[in-house]
Structure formats: structure tokens, C-alpha cells
Structure 1
Amino acid sequence: MNGETPDPLEFEHALLDAAGAAALVERLHDLDAFWIARHARLPFHTLGATNYYDLTANPARPYARLAARYNPLLLAQFGALYASVAATLAARLDAAVAYLAETEPDTALPGFHIFGAHAEFAARAEHDVLHGDWFRQRDGDAFPGNPIHVDTAHLALGLDARARLAGEATPLATLSFTLPLALPEAGAGMRLWGFGHEAAPVGDGAHQQARLRHAPTREHAYRSGALFVHSGTRYHQARGFPVVPGQYRITLQGHGVWLGGAWRLFW
């Protein structure tokens, strides 16, 4: 497609059956007292620290503090799930896989996105925003938009810079993954473009928006319990948020970086 090449890291793997996913959703609801509200008004929470709320564009930078608080809880409640995700990735990628928090406890384990239902989550063209715009609007009362972005979590944590100082080859290889556990009845997934920053650079917002608006895309439909993996280096956007009361979109989210001879997973 216009000279664009397939993402070599993209795959889907059936990890959980329906009963297994439902049991995890029930456990997450039992832990709702620990959910972190991520919007002043809309029903969006995480369970766990995340770089894009707790580090990037956040002067308080509570990331390390929240990671130290939530990592033990996540391991105690979902240790078997973390082991299964790591084993699956190791088998599919034919490489060592570990959690970055094992050696750097101030980094967050992969955690959970929890979207309840709200009418403002209905898809609209005006909700499609660039990542920079989303960060500027993130903490207001209005719906901040649905960002089209490339994953740069490893840069937020300074991993690329540290690797370069240590003599490792950079830019570091990356991956991102989503494990859907509960989905709205209308469906959900990820919208994918065939290119990344090299074709629509961040510094040129007008060109970036025009390129993304007119470029062909495809949508990957999530299946509950099926792990979806991609490199994170192509533009992508979450699709399908709950608008019907009582429905949820709940996913395990994480990133990985190739560092020290292994894929190191974090959030």
C-alpha cells in the first residue's frame, strides 16, 4: 500500500477463554476502590501507574510513587496473568521477556484501562486529535479527544538516552500490546496507519494532520482474551468506547523495549 511495509511485530494470540477474561473483569471490579480516576468528569480510570498521565506533561511527576504503590497490588492480584503474557510473548517473539520493574522498581508494570459508559465517548470526527493536542486538553473538564499517535513511552522514561550512554544501539526496538477483557457490545479495536513519524513528523502539525486524514487505514477488531501486539511505531488510534450504560471497555495495556538482550515490559 503506497510502498508501506507490514508491521513485522504485529500479531494476535488467543490468551484467555471467555470464562478467564470474565473472572479477571470481576476481580477488577472488586478492586474499584483502587482505580485511579483519569478524568474530572468522565468514567475513565486506570489500575496502575502510566507514563502518559503520571510522567509526560505532569509537573508533579507521580509516576515512580504510583508505580511503587501499585506494582505490588498488581502482582498480588494478577501475577498469573503477568506470567502468562510474558511466556506468550517469549514464545511468539523467540526472545527473552522480562518486566522492567524487576530490575527498576520505580517503573510501572503494565496496567489496566477501564472505561465506563458515557454518551461523550461516541465516535466523532472532531474527536480525532494529535497527541500533542490531547496532552494539552487531557486534564480539562471536556472530553480531550481520541489521540492518533505513535507510542513513545520508552522516550518518556528516558530509556533511549540511557541505552545510548551505555553504548547500546539506538533507537531501541519497541512493542506495544493490548489484552481486551471486556468490550462494548458494538465492538472495539484499533485503527492502524501504515506509517509513522518518518512520513508525518510531529513538528509539522498541519502536514501531519493532512497526511493522517487522507491516508488509508485499517481497523483491527479486538476479541476478548486475545492479545494484540504491534511495534507501536506506526500511527494508531483506539476505537470503540462504551456509550450504553452498564457496558465497559477494559484492557490490559503495556509497552516493551529491547534492552540488555531482552524485551522489557512496562507502562
Structure 2
Amino acid sequence: MITSLELLTPDECARLVAHIKELRAHWIPRGNNPQSTSFFTLGAAIYLDEPSEYRAVAERNNPLLREHFAWLYERLTEFLSRQLRAPVELAPGLGHPGFHVWLTPAIFTTPDASVHFDLQYLRAFPEPQPGMDFDRPLSFTLSLRLPRRGGGLNLWEFTYERYRQFYERINTRIQPKDVTVLLPRLRHPYTVGAIAMHSGHLLHQVGEVDQVFPGDERITLQGHGILVRGVWQLYF
């Protein structure tokens, strides 16, 4: 289901968080009202940016990310290469793995986040090329700072393939959230410095916390991967 392994030390995470805050002028406001949002990304995000604009956003932000976080990308690609037993690289032309920044007001205290499968590759690669493996995608979250009450991922043992079969069987319009009433909700806790890896094809949701304290933040490195002719290509 989900594999979590230590990648960074607490000190490395603290230094990264401080560096991310130094780059606040480059944070991209997300949400319906950018003027009052407390949710940002540092870097392009295919699930948030319009497909027609995504590559331009990536082109503007990738040099900044490489300049300030090259060592992190090197650590990440070397680590994933060992775990996946295949070469790993940053996907050319797509946004580098980037950062989610949730400030105190944006941290979920109720299970209202989107319930979904990670199908970003359909937007990132609208015209699949020979050798692309969409059956074994990768999603990962590297926690750098979590709220005082922790953080994690809610998930249900229901795969995208089963969802598609169920959808075809009942021949009725449904959303992924609709099936959650039929299944128990599970919880995968995050740990600062650990990278959580999964396929993205298991139904999941950003986990809420029962209480938020002043100054709480949820800062993570986010990314996805697709295997292309034997090489894992990472993007966000």
C-alpha cells in the first residue's frame, strides 16, 4: 500500500523549511481567492495549473528550484533509484517535484479534502508515447514540517481499476468520494524526514488533524513518477 522510509534528518528538514520561507516571494497562491489563501505551492503543479499554462509555469519555476534545492533532487533521485531499481531523473519539460505549503488557516481539521486517485499523468502526458507505463505510477510525499498534532494520509482499500469496473457495472455517474461510505477509512501517519511512496491508484485524501495551534504549518515535497522506457521520470 504505502511505504515510508527515512530520507532526511530533522536538521535537514528544518534547514529546508527555513530556505522555503526565504523564497516566499515565489510561492504561488492556490485556491479560489489568491488574496486570502493560506495554501501555496513553490513550483508548478499539474493538478492545479491549467494544462495550457502548466509548462510555462514550470519553465519559470524550475530554474529557481534547481538553484536552491539541487542537493535535495540529487538525494531524492539517488534514493528512489535504489528503491525502484531503475534510473530516475527529473522529467524534461515538466515541473520539478515542488512544495506544498499549508499555513495555519488552511490546515484541515475535518475530512473535507478532495478524495481522489492520482491521475495527474493524464494531464502531464495527454499524448502518451511508446514505452510509457501508466499502470504503475508513483506518488510521493516527503514531510518537512507537520502540525503539532501530526499529519498523514486518509485512504481506502479501493483501487482505481476497481473504481472503473464499479463505474461500468452500475452504469451511473459516481464520484470517488461516493464509495467511501462502503469502506472503512484507514490512516497512514507522516513522519518528518520520511518519504511516503505509493502508486496513487489507491483512493486517498489529505488527512485532517483534530486541532490546529497558532503557528502550525504543513510543508511537504510532493511529486509523481512515470516509468518511460525503463527510466522513472519525476514531476509535479
TM-score (normalizing by structure 2) = 0.89
Residue of structure 2 in register with 1:212 after alignment: 180
1:34 equivalent to 2:26? Answer yes
Residues 256 and 266, structure 1, Cα contact 8 Å, conserved in 2: yes
Distance 1:154 1:19, change over 3 A: same
TM-score (normalizing by structure 1) = 0.79
Question: 2:109 is aligned with what amino acid?
Answer: A
Distance 1:24 1:207, change over 3 A: closer
Question: % of aligned pairs identical?
Answer: 33
1:182 equivalent to 2:148? Answer no
Matches within 5 A, 1:117-266: 117-118=104-105, 121-125=107-111, 127=112, 146-158=113-125, 161-163=127-129, 166=130, 168=131, 171-201=134-164, 204-206=172-174, 208-240=176-208, 243-266=212-235
Out of 31, 45, 66, the residue aligned to residue 75 of structure 1 is 66
Q: Deviations over 1:49-74 (max 9, x none)?
A: 01011135xxxx32111111110000
Residues 200 and 207, structure 1, Cα contact 8 Å, conserved in 2: no
- Find the aligned partners of 1:183 and 1:169 in 2 and give their Cα distance: 34
Distance 1:169 1:117, change over 3 A: closer
Residue of structure 1 in register with 2:45 after alignment: 50
Residues 179 and 226, structure 1, Cα contact 8 Å, conserved in 2: yes
- Find the aligned partners of 2:143 and 2:173 in 1 and give their Cα distance: 31
- Find the aligned partners of 2:218 and 2:143 in 1 and give their Cα distance: 8
Residue of structure 2 in register with 1:66 after alignment: 57
Q: Which runs of 5 or more structure 2 residues have no equivalent in the other structure?
A: none
Out of 15, 18, 21, the residue aligned to residue 23 of structure 1 is 15
Residue of structure 2 in register with 1:108 after alignment: 95
- Give the secondary structure class of the aligned counterpart of 2:202: coil
Deviation of 1:244 after TM superposition, in Å, equals: 2.2
Deviation of 1:260 after TM superposition, in Å, equals: 1.7
- Give the secondary structure class of the aligned counterpart of 1:113: strand
Q: Deviations over 1:111-166 (max 9, x none)?
A: 00000011x644335x2xxxxxxxxxxxxxxxxxx10110011111125x422xx3
Structure holding more strand per residue: 2
- Give the secondary structure class of the aligned counterpart of 1:69: helix
- Find the aligned partners of 1:62 and 1:170 in 2 and give their Cα distance: 25
Deviation of 1:173 after TM superposition, in Å, equals: 2.1
Q: Deviations over 1:2-22 (max 9, x none)?
A: xxxxx3xx3111011111100
- Find the aligned partners of 1:148 and 1:113 in 2 and give their Cα distance: 17
Residues 184 and 240, structure 1, Cα contact 8 Å, conserved in 2: no
Question: 1:98 is aligned with what amino acid?
Answer: E
Q: Kindly tell me the number of residue pairs found equivalent between the two proteins.
A: 227
Distance 1:44 1:198, change over 3 A: same
Distance 1:78 1:211, change over 3 A: same
